[in-house]
Amino acid sequence: VFWGIKGASWYATQPLLHLKVTLFVVMVLLSIGPTLAFRRWRRALHATGALPAAAEVARVRRLVMVQSHVLPLIAVVAVFWARGW
């Protein structure tokens, strides 16, 4: 951004860049819950051999599915931005 040809002032005025970065941050935030759950499940499995409850698996699966639907949106926004929309 700072050493590019167009400069930081041009990038700062691009709404699609802000949308792209926001979607990326949303993906990062959505991945925190499943990551912590996977680590907790692994510790429990190694310690006691217990599997997670079905409701907890469903909740984590829902978050992963939302995250997997946000990822292509980032690519779509990048295409629109590259085409000058």
For residue 1, is pLDDT > 80? no
pLDDT of residue 25: 96
pLDDT of residue 44: 95
What tens digit of pLDDT does each residue of 5-62 get? 787 787 788 899 999 999 999 999 999 999 999 999 999 999 999 999 999 999 999 9
**DSSP-H helix ranges across 1-85:** 8-12, 15-48, 54-82
One-letter identity of residue 8: A
Q: Are 60 and 34 a contacting pair, CB within 8 Å?
A: yes
pLDDT of residue 26: 95
- Give the start-to-end residue ranges of the domains of the chain: 14-82
